[in-house]
């Protein structure tokens, strides 16, 4: 795992070693690099960003580009590589994706200006921006469906080591705070899903916290503790928002203010002179959100599968959104489902509304498909990285939101959530929309420096400059005609050369009208006499020449000025624009969930404050869709009722002990019920015939096997650590999913642990629990614990094979059919046959027999079987035939047989031999 970066480390790269006489340019590079030791330095040289020394070696390897050399340093070649400025974004994306940080060093003056100071003068350069994983804003570097959170961790020792998190998405302006603690730190960080974490070095190295930070490797950036100073944090925040006090923002703890100050300080550090437009910080309460521990979040594959792919995740399966903002909002809701039943049911009401008003939903979704990503456009504009297309995105976004509002305005009795969205849309700044519509042209360049984005007719001076630039020939021709008419000299011409510029030329014989009258002498100024021609100019022509010469530059300057005015106007309305965008995202998510429910046959769950958990005909949302795509057998729906038992303790949830065969669908059944709970609590309909769910406050899942060798933990140790976390944290309102507890150790050890775990969950945690196991002995616990019930996966045996029916029924399994599954997996036939024999002997002698007592009865592989393993098919047939013949022969007593019985016995043996091949 990569170590975190630290801006306070005093590393001495090769580039920083003293040199006897470096060139002026290299001396400048070394100075700038020394100020940015933890970043790769993109050093601007003309049309390229060059990298030197170790930076070049790292970048060349990471980007797959050529590593060259430039000059020498300490008698060693200086490694060098470079990337073109026009393609820098692509290379930045690769470097940032691999966890590197980049300092962009630009030329701050024209090279011609530098030469005026002397031949050896170096162009002034400095770092204008630090590019880090959480501070990129370029559209092509961002995934439109992903958030880009920077998380800062603040701690105040004076308040008993109080801990808090602040997270900012610089691309959308979101700014949130919440209190945390050592136990919740890792779950909270995983819920947020940061692109980057900044933390003071003393906090990082705290033994109680370090293990959580280590999970994020290179994502963590160590910063000086002074950035998180809680004593000055409130003043720093007030200064950033240009207010006198933070009192109007809310009552934040010192730890929250410390985290917020650290986050803002890091953003100011990376953005250098630019100030992003951020929303006011909002506090999140841990009690309002469903707590999902890290192992559960991974095991349930909510946003990503275990291999890191989005395909196959719950998010991918349910996402029907059509906007980037909607996709991000849906992901946020999945990361943090609600526990407040009132809010959950408001969301469900909104989904029900669009499910019943399908035409309305389709009409709105059609409008939303053309909705630009306004928050990200605003962010780029506020950081002076935006262009004309970002202004157009705001204009088009306001046009779409106005159309959506007009549609909703015609509806009666909107649900509360939709009405709130409509109210936000009503506050859209129409004046900004009208201004941008009138100012922007149709074809817009990516960058403002390219010009041509202001609509003709918007600015009179700009139109004049464009006319001069684009129609200079026509204007000169018109002036020539005017002068010819005024003087009566039809042969008068206006010409141009590099010495005189524009001039009037007449023949010597026709020069009189330009020189003989007082008016002509005052108007036409003699410039040059030739053998047969005379050349003149006028004040009007000189002014026109000057205007034409500077028209292109002046036109671009006017356009850039207009752009800056439009940008400032839009950024000043950032809060209103974001509110409109958020409303559109809410509508997008709600309509998408309605489409999902209608298309997949989902039902509206009942969500209340009870401890009920009753799912009728529940399905796994991901597996069901996968089966439909494969056109295979339909998904088998199953019930699950963990509600308090009417015949026993009617206050606490039930425990289902699930037994059954491998490959029967136990893990799918476990996961589907956890996913149904998550979907219900984000305000979604669920894949079931009916569902009644008492709001779950904590969700735990211990499914699958993995190790953590980097931290010295075996598979079994990881299993025990995760189980311990569940038993120590689960409460009566929790939902716990456990699969195969105790399988990583000896049989009796594992059985004992599983036994004690069930009893603890029943007596102490008293939570709703699904407990899958192959320890069939645990089914006996139902006789002594009134909230415990046995269920199993139904199977059918046919001709020695097992058929998985994937149906959950009440009862207990007496077999796991592991040998049959081993055969399906392709184990050598000899191994499968041997396993059957061993299993038969073990079952005959009883499960409580010890292996040592079986050594004589179960010898090691015979020579014949060992040889047979070399030829699977033949050895299997021979072994099977030998067993059947031996069984038949053992039942025969030749001395007591009649001739007829002996003949029948022979036919029987022949039949067995023929059947076995």
State the virtual CA torsion across 623, 629, 634, 635 in degrees, nearest 10.
Answer: 10
Across the strands, what pairs with 153? 165, 199
CA atoms of 549 and 472, how far apart (whole Å): 10
**Which candidate, 497, 346, 363, 479, places its Cα nearest to that of 419?**
346
Closest by CA to 351, choosing from 655, 625, 681, 592, is 592
- 644-676 burial, b for 16+ CB within 10 Å, e for fewer? bbeeeeeebbbbbbbbbbbbbbbbbbbbbbbbb
Instruction: Find tokens 């009942």 and name the residue.
Output: 606
List the 196-200 sheet strands across, edge first.
5-6, 220-223, 196-200, 149-156, 162-169, 174-180, 282-283
Q: Dig out the tokens for 718 from the structure.
A: 């990881």
Written as six digits, the tokens of 836 are 């059957």
CA count, 13 A, side-chain hemisphere, 615: 27
Six-digit token string for 398: 């306001």
CA distance 404 to 347: 19
Asked if residue 173 lies in contact with residue 277, where contact means CB atoms within 8 angstroms, the answer is yes
Task: Convert 267-290 into a string of H (helix), E (strand) and C (coil).
Answer: HHHHHCCCCCCCCCCEECCHHHEC
Q: Which of 881, 839, 676, 657 is nearest to 759 (CA)?
A: 657
Q: Taking Cα atoms as reference points, which of 768, 710, 771, 779 lies closest to residue 742?
A: 771
Q: Which residues pair with 164 in a beta bridge?
A: 154, 179
Task: Count the neighbouring beta carbons within 10 Å of the beta carbon of residue 568.
Answer: 11
CB 361 within 8 A of CB 408: no
Kind plus residue range of the DSSP H or E element containing 562: helix 539-572
**Element (DSSP H or E) covering residue 519:** helix 518-523
Residues near 362 by beta carbon (within 8 Å), at least 6 away in sequence: none
**Complete DSSP assignment for 215-246:** TTGGGEEEE-GGGG-HHHHHHHHHHHTT-S-S
Beta strands in 587-667 (DSSP E): 606-608, 613-618, 638-641, 655-659
As annotated, the binding site for ATP includes: 660-667
Q: Which residues are annotated as a binding site?
A: 660-667
What DSSP designation does 772 have?
Answer: E
- Alpha carbon distance, N-terminus to C-terminus of the chain: 57
CA-CA distances (angstroms) from residue 777 to 34, 208, 739, 771, 843?
67, 39, 16, 13, 14
H or E element, residue 81 = strand 76-84
Q: Which helix (H) or strand (E) holds 534?
A: strand 533-537
């Amino acid at each position: 795992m990569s170590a975190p970066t630290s801006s306070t480390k005093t590393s001495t790269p090769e580039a920083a070693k003293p040199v006897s006489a470096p060139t002026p340019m290299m001396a400048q590079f070394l100075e700038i690099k020394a100020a940015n030791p933890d970043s790769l330095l993109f050093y601007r040289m003309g049309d390229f960003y060059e990298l030197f020394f170790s930076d070049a070696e790292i970048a060349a390897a990471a980007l797959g580009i050529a590593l060259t050399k430039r000059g020498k340093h300490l008698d060693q070649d200086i490694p060098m590589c470079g990337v073109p400025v026009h393609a820098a974004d692509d290379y930045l994306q690769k470097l940032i994706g691999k966890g590197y940080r980049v300092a962009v060093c630009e030329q701050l003056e024209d090279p011609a200006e530098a030469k005026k100071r002397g031949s050896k003068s170096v162009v002034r350069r400095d770092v204008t921006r630090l590019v880090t994983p959480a501070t990129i804003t370029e559209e092509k570097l961002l995934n439109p469906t992903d958030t880009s959170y920077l998380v800062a961790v603040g701690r105040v020792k004076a308040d008993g080591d109080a801990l808090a998190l602040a997270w900012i998405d610089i691309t959308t302006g979101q700014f949130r705070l919440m209190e945390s603690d050592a136990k919740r730190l890792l779950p909270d960080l995983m819920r947020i899903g940061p692109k980057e974490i900044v933390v003071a070095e003393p906090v990082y190295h705290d033994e109680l916290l370090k293990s959580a930070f280590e999970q994020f490797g290179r994502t963590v950036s160590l910063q000086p503790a002074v950035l998180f100073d809680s004593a000055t944090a409130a003043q720093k925040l007030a200064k950033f928002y240009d207010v006198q006090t933070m009192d109007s923002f809310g009552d934040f703890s010192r730890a929250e203010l410390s985290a917020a100050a650290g986050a803002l300080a890091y953003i100011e550090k990376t953005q250098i002179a630019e100030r992003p437009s951020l929303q006011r910080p909002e506090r999140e309460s841990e009690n309002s959100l469903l707590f999902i521990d890290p192992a559960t979040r991974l095991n349930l594959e909510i946003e990503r599968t275990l291999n890191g792919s989005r395909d196959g995740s719950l998010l991918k399966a349910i996402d029907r959104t059509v906007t980037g903002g909607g996709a991000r909002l849906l992901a946020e809701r999945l990361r943090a489902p609600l526990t407040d039943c009132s809010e959950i049911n408001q969301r469900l009401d909104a989904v029900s509304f669009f499910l019943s008003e399908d035409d309305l939903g389709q009409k709105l979704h059609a409008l939303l498909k053309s909705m630009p990503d306004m928050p990200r456009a605003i962010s780029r504009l506020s950081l002076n990285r935006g262009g004309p297309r970002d202004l157009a995105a705001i204009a088009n976004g306001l046009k779409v939101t106005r159309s959506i509002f007009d549609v909703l305005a015609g509806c009666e009795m909107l649900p509360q959530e939709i009405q709130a969205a409509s109210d936000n849309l009503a506050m859209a700044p129409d004046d900004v929309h009208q201004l941008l519509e009138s100012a922007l042209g149709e074809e817009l360049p990516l960058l403002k420096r390219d010009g041509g984005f202001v609509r003709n007719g918007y600015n009179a001076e700009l139109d004049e400059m464009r006319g001069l630039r684009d129609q200079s020939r026509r204007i000169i021709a018109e002036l020539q005609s005017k002068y010819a008419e005024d003087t009566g000299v039809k042969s008068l011409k206006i010409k141009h050369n590099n010495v005189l510029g524009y001039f009037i030329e007449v023949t010597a014989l026709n020069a009189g009208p330009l020189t003989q009258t007082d008016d002509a002498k005052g108007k036409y100024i003699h410039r040059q006499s030739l053998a047969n021609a005379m050349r003149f100019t006028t004040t009007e022509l000189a002014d026109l020449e000057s205007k034409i010469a500077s028209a292109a530059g002046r036109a671009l300057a006017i356009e850039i000025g207009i752009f800056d005015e439009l940008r400032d106007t839009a950024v000043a309305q950032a809060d209103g624009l974001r509110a409109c965008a958020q409303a559109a995202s809410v509508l997008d998510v709600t309509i998408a969930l309605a489409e999902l429910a209608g298309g997949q046959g989902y039902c509206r769950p009942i969500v209340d404050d009870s401890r009920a958990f009753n799912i009728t005909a529940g399905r796994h949302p991901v597996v069901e869709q996968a089966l439909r795509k494969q056109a295979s057998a339909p998904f088998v729906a199953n019930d699950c009722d963990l509600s308090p038992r009417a015949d026993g303790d009617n206050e606490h949830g039930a425990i289902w002990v699930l037994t059954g065969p491998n490959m029967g669908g136990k893990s799918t059944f476990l996961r589907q019920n956890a996913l149904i709970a998550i979907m219900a609590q984000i305000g979604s309909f669920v894949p079931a015939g009916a569902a009644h769910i008492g709001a779950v406050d904590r969700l735990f899942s211990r499914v699958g096997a993995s190790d953590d060798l980097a931290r010295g933990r075996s598979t079994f140790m990881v299993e025990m650590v995760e189980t311990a976390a569940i038993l120590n944290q689960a409460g009566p309102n929790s939902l716990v999913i456990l699969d195969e507890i105790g399988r990583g150790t000896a049989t009796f050890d594992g059985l004992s642990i599983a036994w004690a775990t069930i009893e603890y969950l029943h007596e102490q945690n008293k939570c709703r629990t699904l407990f899958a196991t192959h320890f069939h002995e645990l089914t006996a616990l139902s006789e002594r614990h009134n909230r415990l019930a046995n269920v199993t996966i139904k199977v059918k045996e046919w001709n020695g094979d097992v058929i998985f029916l994937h149906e959950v029924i009440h009862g207990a399994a007496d077999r796991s059919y592991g040998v049959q599954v081993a055969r399906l997996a392709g184990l050598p036939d000899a191994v499968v046959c041997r396993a059957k024999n061993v299993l038969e002997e073990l079952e005959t002698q009883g499960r409580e027999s010890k292996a040592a007592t079986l050594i004589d009865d179960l010898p090691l592989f015979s020579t014949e079987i060992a040889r047979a393993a070399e030829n699977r098919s033949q050895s299997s047939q021979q072994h099977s035939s030998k067993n059947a013949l031996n069984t038949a022969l053992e039942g025969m007593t030749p001395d007591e047989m009649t001739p007829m019985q002996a003949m029948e016995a022979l036919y029987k043996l022949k039949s067995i031999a023929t059947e076995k091949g």
